[in-house]
Structure 1
Amino acid sequence: MTTIKRSDIELLAPAGDWDCLRAAVANGADAVFFGVEKFNARARAHNFLMDDLPDIMSFLHLYGVKGFLTFNILVFEDELREAQKLIEACIGAGVDAVIVQDLGLVKMIRDISPDFPIHGSTQMTITSPEAVEFTKPWDIERVVLGRENNLKQIKQIGDQAKLPMEVFVHGALCVSYSGQCLTSEMWGGRSANRGECAQACRLPYDLMVDGVQKPMGDIAYLLSPKDLAALELVPELIEAGVTSFKIEGRLKSPEYVANVVSKYRLAIDRYFQDGDIRPSKEEMRELEQSFSRGFTYGFLKGTDNKQLVEGTYPKSRGIFLGRVKQILRDGVVCELEAPVKRGDGICFDAGDPTKKEEGGRVYDIRRRGVKLEGEAAGGLIEIIAGRNDVDLNRLHVGDRIWKTNDPHLDKRLRQSFENDRPYRTFPVSIKVTGKLGEPLRSWWTDSRSGQTVFVESELPLVQAQKRPMDVTFIEEQLGRLGGTILELGQLDVQLDGELIVPMRELNVMRRSAVELLEAERQRPRAYIRRDVDAYADVPSNGAVPRSAQAMGETATYSPTTIPGIAGPVRLTALCRSLEQVEAVLATDVDMVIADFEFIKQFPAAVEAARRAGKRIALATPRIHMPGENGYFRNITKLQPDAVLVRNTGAVYYYLKQRLEHPNEHHPELIGDFSLNIANHKTAALFLEAGLDKVTPSYDLNIQQMVDLLRNTDTSQLEVVIHQHMPMFHTEHCVYCTFLSEGTNFTNCGRPCEDHSISLQDRIGMSHPVRVDEGCRNTVYNAIDQSGAEYIRNFMELGVSNYRIEFLEESAAKVLEVISLYERAIRGEISGTQVWKTLKATNQLGVTKGQLVK
């Protein structure tokens, strides 16, 4: 068994600005991740500028801290050259790694540099050993696992894939799998895959069960998870093989960064020094004080839906003080569950955070009318709020009281990084030699970096007349390193005789050595860099498309005269029930795709397709966890004509099957939207890997789609032109949480088999919630949407493969929808007629976008 050392573990901190950067370094971070003004998943953070990169890396490297740039978003076609400039700036500044979501960007980075480090973002949705294996041809240095992986799975992934693993240990949790949430952009025009999440999961929803609203009391935030806090699990995480402990929070304050980093620093160091010592109550309270929606282990100890989502409030509350026992003339009585003192911020929670809540500063604390000095830590306490802070008439007995702010804690945290002293010091070993008539020579070795610099005196050594230099004298003079990042470690003095040089010579030597060692630390890391063009790999599609046309125009095409298309247009239909499959089989649709909640229904769909002489594809789940390859094997046994592949674990599995069994028949592989293909480089990566067709990302608006199509072999693309948009995709099960006494699939009683749930938003739209074989939930948009108006543009660009997706439509509705699209493809009706007839939204993907002339 390999012994884990302290140096094997990295504490990775967030930084949204310079104060956060300093707070991270001052409180013990081994590495910091940060973004610049564009191309990162926290567009709302202050962020740094690209021109700041050299200064940032110089500062971090001075203290022996690594710096990782977040590039964890999808990159659109017209942004590739700008993305290349940022990557080149990172290479020039010596950034230690970039954290990447877009596999096309990975491909670009490898074209530019074979050795520049890449980390796979959690936005890549890597949750299985197979998904890790898929990344290896591009030399991704480490992966950030999905937050839904538990400790057992983390260990299994590490043992099998043998790649360093980075895991989120603290901060806000996304209810949806990262990289698989389309809600924010669909409803708010701000894409989570573009760093602009509008947090639709933090909004209130009504629970509709079988079409009837279920009374939920004060539970309204059905998709709002508590915050992750794994401080108590540090030993288990280390033993599971986690090498990088990642803290979320680039939108948080420097006090938050200082607080959380210092707590995890202490816990990690304590593990290696003292063994399994758990944090104190006070440490956990201080963590809650900086930011907390209530703490949870997330999925690290397995799925517990009721612990993950409480549903009563969506924002940070801080520390729970207790409940209002009595309302006084000038305050309230509370039985304390946590300490409180004058000056603390408090909030009164009446159970409906959608309404204005009372809160303010604590002006006084009393026990039975007697004023207390200092802090009150328990018992019945009278809390007096500041004058005019709280309207006591709006409070109720039973209201919860939260301590939202502690000024004393904030002051202490700020003092940790707001000072003129170096944040850290490192021992330096000095060797000194000298002979009469020669310079005093010295070698200074930085214990952290291993770098050695040589410094000698300008004047030669002379014979001492009174007090010759000795070890004590030299140690005193060269050891005056206060105010620098160095401190004297070992000193080896070898002088030949009773010698001396002027004291100023020693001072100059010391200052020169410090400057040289600091310069060595700050020297940018060197990488191989090639001179390439982001568009060097754009294919020639044969046809020269016209500029994108204004929407609403119609023209008549027959399958043999469509510009750029060799052969007929092919229409596929994705069905989510056997009734829909049978309806599709009665049409001229080229292929039906079965995407059922339960795989036991797949054989009937395959059999029906075989009877009808139609091609059939089976869909994999969107998520692949360790030990779930049986799902893929079951699909293979049914011998479908194609497989709709929805994650990189599945891509790796099926491509490996082709390699290992070259003489067997293998299904066509179609990469789905969930692979997040937003530019031609990502499309090329998956096609070169071995997929037969790919589906563009739903994050593309029409102009971005046109840009992609112009630079990609369109014969290998399948465009979805009708669907209910899959919004959230979650490990959190709404059925289990709110319709069951159980906590997960092992004890929930499967209410999903007997009931149908939807989430009703604030404007009255009910969004269906469907379950897949892995008990994961998908929330679909209430209204279907149509890209029918864009079919002409796609045809002109050579697209011949189109997909229609159904959700809960009846057989009759399926036939109507297919007929309308077939007529539009033939040019018999306009795209406008299609979506108006269907009462669908006129939209492609998650944003409407604009076509330019």
Structure 2
Amino acid sequence: MKVELLAPAGSYESMVAAYSAGADAVYIGGAKFGARAFADNLDTEQMKKAIDYAHIRGRKLYLTVNTLLKQKETEELYDYLLPFYREGLDAVIVQDFGVFQMVREAFPDMDLHASTQMTVTGVRGAAWLQERGASRVVTARELSMEEIRKIHEQVPVEIESFVHGALCFCYSGQCLLSSMIGGRSGNRGRCAQPCRLPYQLYEEDSLLSRDPYLMSPKDMCTLDLIPELVESGIYSFKMEGRMKKPEYTAGITSVYRKYIDQYLNDGKENFMVRPEDRSLLMDLYNRGGFSQGYYQQHNGKDMMSMQRPNHWGTEAAKMISAGRETKWKALEDLNIRDVLELRSAKEKREYTLSQNVAKGAVFSMKTGNGREKNGMLLYRTRNEKLISEIRKTYLDNPYKVGIDGELLLQKKCAAQLQIRYRDIYVSVSGGEVQSAQKRPLEEKDVRKQISKLGQTEFKWEKLQIRMDEGIFLPVQELNELRRKAIEELTEAILQKERKCQNRILQTREKPETQKQTDALFITAQAERREQLEEILVCNKIRRVCLSSLLYPSEEAFLGQASEDVKRCRESGKESWYVMPWIFREEKRNYFLHMEKCRHILEQFDGILVKNLEEIQYLQQISYCGKIALDHNMYIWNREAVSFWQKEKIDWMTLPVELTDQEMRPLSSARREMIVYGYAPLMVTAQCFQKNTTGCRKKRKILHLKDRKGKYFPIKNDCSFCYNILYNSTVTELADQSRSISQIAPESVRLSFTIEDARQTREVLCRYTEVFAEHKNVESPSSDFTRGHLKRGVE
């Protein structure tokens, strides 16, 4: 059984540390297109050096190209990847379907890994990607072991899953929170982590929780689950942490290496995690302890760190005497230069320890300001001894490759050094061995010279020396023989991995732009019944998108959907069904009755999908109607448009993070643009209601209040068990008709979410005046945003 341990690296030093600590592979970012824009990413020469470093050690290196690319950037992609491909890069990790297509076509023999930001949540999505060329799928963090097991059993694709580190509150790839409120997009590797800020949760005027960090999950630790995770089919155990220091990378890698090997060597029955290794991980980083992620539960408050969003540390000392110079009892061994933190409700103070203190010992420290009380705790947030030991073990002494050698020194023959590394064998010859005139060579002197591997990547495991007596060879000849042999061995190792690429990826032709008609096709999307009623009586609306949120249960869908379709037709409108945001295997309650559902779905004029599982599901039931992509199925470039056109997608929704200028290259027939609505900022498996007042299995609207007094609406979709967080301000583009006409979409969409009947009616009137009657209107005086139409994201 083979399991890959995959470590994060935000710098070259972190990569070296990861391999030294036992990583089989490392994922790392280059100068462009990686989802950690603020890491110490590698330039071209550093990346090539990193690829060689990995391959000399028999390890792998994966490059993150897991951001969405704007059109101009796709023109740089081939030249960016080509030197890494030639050097032997093992794989690229991709989110953008345009990038997916370009890499598959330009570098067909390089492995392509589908990023967790593609939000793969089941068998269907994994199979769909594998059929189109993905060699590996990085599963959504929210999957259970059973869901992963089904993928493993039914899809011939490598499975990579996160096993340690930070958890995003939102499904990866579905988050626009940082983008919309601060302009730093997670889809571009620039997330500002607003989810780690304090918020208040309200139901109408009632405060539901006093916990401030309602969107801050604990870090994940799955040491105890290693046997079950391996047996579920996970091939690559992925650890998170590209923004953390090399010591963190080395520390977590060494612990997971230890326990993966323990399971593989000794079996499940002898598997046991030692307390000191848990403590090591806690010391390195934890947020109020760890959770085991979503592998054994769908969500829950015990997965959250609602009191503190960053490193919690460990309980280090307890106050036993308050005063100007307080006395403390050590709860664990403490070390000089450890960082300790004293916490109260109003403040946090840090202190650096000036002495070593044994567990149980009493020590004094000036921390008093008159408000301390006996029983207060000091938390250690930096274990200086642990950090120093990790650095000494893994960073100061990088892992070197063990090689076997044989040196032959025979009179009147050329000196010969043979080296073997795995299945690679090199033999080099030097100067002729002479008879000694004075002092003959001794074996210890020869061994000393040949053993000087110094700054090379190698160390001798075995070095056999066969030499005649009474011989002589100059020291410089021995040194040159060693240097030449190591050089040839290095080249032989790397040559096995390097590739040749001479052809150039052809530039894809720009799709033809359809000339815009005088009146745009206007779509309205409804999530509430009162919105639908207003839409049906508005004769300028030509297409109605009926959200899955309109139907609170399977019975409601089966009983009401057909009637809704009929009413749309009677009012002269197309009817499209909007699939759920997340389509998990065990939550497909609406669609268990496949024949009934197929019959109902085929009554609609088309289906608007939000994820890969839904596309594959529609293919599975032989759905013959039209299929469109919502805005979260990103099309940031013409290559992505081309990809989806090949998939016979009927129309696509333009992305909400691009400017009008950036959308123009995408404008052609069958594009729809959202011009009104509260943008969905997050889709999360966590439930605000459950984590605060308990699960009620009842849909309602809550509000999240931020530090600036903004209120963000939240809907809980109990049918599919996820929450949707909407923007606090509505996107209004009624006064931007000129910019929209230059983008040239075929249709525009009004996306109704929390509006009541009156608000819906007012919006319909305003936008039909603009796009159907060509009138100029002013945007409402109330708070609104134009989204990224003019500002965009970096």
Query: Residue 469 of structure 1: CA displacement?
Result: 11
2:501 counterpart (515, 520, 529): 529
Partner of 1:423: 399
Partner of 1:548: none
Equivalent position SS for 1:301 = coil
Equivalent position SS for 1:175 = coil
Partner of 1:511: 483
8 Å contact kept, 2:660–2:740: no
Quick one: distance in 2 between partners of 1:656 and 1:173?
32
Equivalent position SS for 2:643 = helix
8 Å contact kept, 2:199–2:706: yes
Partner of 2:706: 761
2:545 counterpart (585, 593, 599): 593
Deviations 1:506-563 (A, max 9, x none): 5543332222112333448333535445642322225xxxxxxxxxxxxxxxxxxxxx
1:548-559 equivalences under 5 Å are: none
Query: Residue 767 of structure 1: CA displacement?
Result: 1.1
Quick one: distance in 2 between partners of 1:358 and 1:566?
65
Partner of 2:359: 377
8 Å contact kept, 2:651–2:670: yes
Deviations 1:673-696 (A, max 9, x none): 111221111122122112111112
Quick one: distance in 2 between partners of 1:360 and 1:460?
66
Quick one: distance in 1 between partners of 2:792 and 2:120?
33
Quick one: distance in 2 between partners of 1:68 and 1:262?
20
8 Å contact kept, 1:57–1:522: no
Closer, same or farther in 2 for the Cα pair 1:739/1:346, shift >3 Å?
A: same
Quick one: distance in 2 between partners of 1:414 and 1:190?
33
8 Å contact kept, 1:729–1:778: yes
Closer, same or farther in 2 for the Cα pair 1:806/1:483, shift >3 Å?
A: closer
Equivalent position SS for 2:348 = coil
Partner of 1:636: 598
Partner of 1:560: none
1:244-255 equivalences under 5 Å are: 244-255=236-247
Quick one: distance in 2 between partners of 1:708 and 1:330?
68
Partner of 2:369: 392
Partner of 1:661: none
Equivalent position SS for 2:126 = helix
Query: Residue 667 of structure 1: CA displacement?
Result: 2.4
Deviations 1:119-176 (A, max 9, x none): 1111111121211122224422212111111222222212211211111111111100
Deviations 1:292-348 (A, max 9, x none): 1131111122224121113111111211236545523312445x5543344321112
Query: Residue 410 of structure 1: CA displacement?
Result: 1.5
Whether 2:777 is the aligned partner of 1:782: answer no
Equivalent residues, number: 775
Closer, same or farther in 2 for the Cα pair 1:56/1:490, shift >3 Å?
A: closer
Partner of 1:549: none
1:362 counterpart (353, 363, 381): 353
Quick one: distance in 2 between partners of 1:154 and 1:26?
30
Equivalent position SS for 2:370 = helix
Equivalent position SS for 1:771 = strand
Quick one: distance in 2 between partners of 1:583 and 1:230?
50
Whether 2:142 is the aligned partner of 1:183: answer no
Whether 2:619 is the aligned partner of 1:655: answer yes
Partner of 1:241: 233
8 Å contact kept, 1:150–1:299: yes
The residue identity in structure 1 corresponding to 2:403 is P
Partner of 2:567: 611
Equivalent position SS for 2:202 = strand
**TM-score (structure 2 length as normaliser):** 0.90
Partner of 1:227: 219
Whether 2:535 is the aligned partner of 1:584: answer yes
Closer, same or farther in 2 for the Cα pair 1:260/1:55, shift >3 Å?
A: same
Whether 2:387 is the aligned partner of 1:410: answer yes
8 Å contact kept, 1:129–1:157: yes
Moved more, 514-523 or 41-50: 514-523
Query: Residue 459 of structure 1: CA displacement?
Result: 1.8
Closer, same or farther in 2 for the Cα pair 1:19/1:494, shift >3 Å?
A: closer
8 Å contact kept, 1:207–1:757: yes
Quick one: distance in 1 between partners of 2:183 and 2:454?
53
Whether 2:90 is the aligned partner of 1:115: answer no
The residue identity in structure 2 corresponding to 1:576 is E
8 Å contact kept, 2:114–2:137: yes
Query: Residue 732 of structure 1: CA displacement?
Result: 0.9
Query: Residue 117 of structure 1: CA displacement?
Result: 2.1
Quick one: distance in 1 between partners of 2:693 and 2:52?
54
The residue identity in structure 2 corresponding to 1:298 is G
8 Å contact kept, 2:659–2:792: yes
Query: Residue 90 of structure 1: CA displacement?
Result: 2.3
Whether 2:94 is the aligned partner of 1:65: answer no
Query: Residue 183 of structure 1: CA displacement?
Result: 0.2
Whether 2:718 is the aligned partner of 1:724: answer no
8 Å contact kept, 1:145–1:165: yes
Question: Gaps (5+ residues) in structure 2?
Answer: none
Equivalent position SS for 1:340 = coil
8 Å contact kept, 1:606–1:616: no
Closer, same or farther in 2 for the Cα pair 1:323/1:65, shift >3 Å?
A: same
Query: Residue 382 of structure 1: CA displacement?
Result: 4.1
Partner of 1:145: 139
Quick one: distance in 1 between partners of 2:790 and 2:618?
34
The residue identity in structure 2 corresponding to 1:260 is I
Query: Residue 492 of structure 1: CA displacement?
Result: 8.4
Closer, same or farther in 2 for the Cα pair 1:810/1:299, shift >3 Å?
A: same
Quick one: distance in 2 between partners of 1:767 and 1:687?
36
Partner of 1:451: 424
Closer, same or farther in 2 for the Cα pair 1:593/1:850, shift >3 Å?
A: closer
Whether 2:781 is the aligned partner of 1:843: answer no
Equivalent position SS for 1:769 = strand
Query: Residue 477 of structure 1: CA displacement?
Result: 7.7
Whether 2:624 is the aligned partner of 1:624: answer no
2:738 counterpart (792, 812, 819): 792
8 Å contact kept, 2:175–2:186: yes
8 Å contact kept, 1:347–1:401: yes
Partner of 1:163: 157
Quick one: distance in 2 between partners of 1:156 and 1:464?
76
Moved more, 601-610 or 497-506: 497-506
Equivalent position SS for 2:675 = strand
Query: Residue 458 of structure 1: CA displacement?
Result: 3.2
Quick one: distance in 2 between partners of 1:73 and 1:536?
20
The residue identity in structure 2 corresponding to 1:826 is A
8 Å contact kept, 1:202–1:221: yes
Query: Residue 784 of structure 1: CA displacement?
Result: 1.5
Whether 2:309 is the aligned partner of 1:314: answer yes
Quick one: distance in 1 between partners of 2:14 and 2:177?
30
Moved more, 236-245 or 776-785: 236-245
Equivalent position SS for 1:317 = coil
8 Å contact kept, 2:125–2:616: yes
Query: Residue 821 of structure 1: CA displacement?
Result: 0.9
Quick one: distance in 1 between partners of 2:226 and 2:322?
42
8 Å contact kept, 2:86–2:501: no
8 Å contact kept, 1:289–1:406: yes
Deviations 1:444-500 (A, max 9, x none): 2212xx222121243268899999999x999888667576544555778999x9996
1:686 counterpart (619, 644, 658): 644
Equivalent position SS for 1:313 = coil
8 Å contact kept, 1:350–1:396: no
Quick one: distance in 1 between partners of 2:701 and 2:327?
45
Closer, same or farther in 2 for the Cα pair 1:339/1:434, shift >3 Å?
A: closer
Query: Residue 729 of structure 1: CA displacement?
Result: 1.0
Quick one: distance in 2 between partners of 1:313 and 1:57?
38
Deviations 1:219-247 (A, max 9, x none): 11011111111222222222222221212
Closer, same or farther in 2 for the Cα pair 1:44/1:441, shift >3 Å?
A: closer
Deviations 1:669-726 (A, max 9, x none): 11111112211111221221121111122222332222432xxxx2121111111111
8 Å contact kept, 2:704–2:711: yes
8 Å contact kept, 1:784–1:841: yes
